[in-house]
Structure formats: structure tokens, C-alpha cells
């Protein structure tokens, strides 16, 4: 699927949640969508678990 189509579907889901469920439902759908995005990137191999737990010194050494 095209990235623009996925973004449109996500936006529509957030819009429906906000309209029918209120602001709380909007935040819940947005949070679950973000979690799903991270899990999907991790499953595809584009993201490593160590990326979340690096210290600042590790990042500075990696740039050099």
C-alpha cells in the first residue's frame, strides 16, 4: 500500500474516533496507532530494540 493511502486511512480512523467517541477515544486511537507503527517497524527489521536504550555517549560515538 502507498504511504499516502495508509496516512489517509489513519487520519480517517482518528477522525471517526474523535467524532463518535470524543477526545479520549481520539487519544486512545492515536496512542495505539503509534504503538502499532513502532511494532511494525520492529517486525520489518527497520528498527532495533537497542535504538531505544542507547545513551548519549553511544550516539555521539556512532556519528564519528
User: Which residues touch 16 (CB under 8 Å, ≥6 apart)?
Assistant: none
CA distances for 50 relative to 37, 53, 55, angstroms: 17, 5, 10
- Domain of residue 18, residue span: 3-63
Across the chain, which has 64 residues, the per-10-residue mean pLDDT values are 81 89 90 85 79 67 57
Q: What is the pLDDT of residue 64?
A: 55
Q: What is the DSSP annotation of the chain?
A: --HHHHHHHHHHHHHHHHHHHHHHHHHHHHHHHHHHHHHHHHHHTSS-GGGGS--HHHHHHHH-
Q: What is the pLDDT of residue 59?
A: 56
- Report the number of distinct structural domains present in the chain: 1
Amino acid at each position: 500500500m502507498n504511504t499516502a493511502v495508509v496516512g489517509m486511512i489513519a487520519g480517517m480512523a482518528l477522525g471517526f474516533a474523535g467524532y463518535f467517541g470524543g477526545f479520549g477515544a481520539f487519544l486512545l486511537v492515536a496512542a495505539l496507532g503509534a504503538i502499532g507503527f513502532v511494532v511494525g517497524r520492529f517486525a520489518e527489521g527497520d528498527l532495533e530494540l537497542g535504538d531505544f536504550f542507547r545513551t548519549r555517549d553511544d550516539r555521539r560515538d556512532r556519528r564519528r
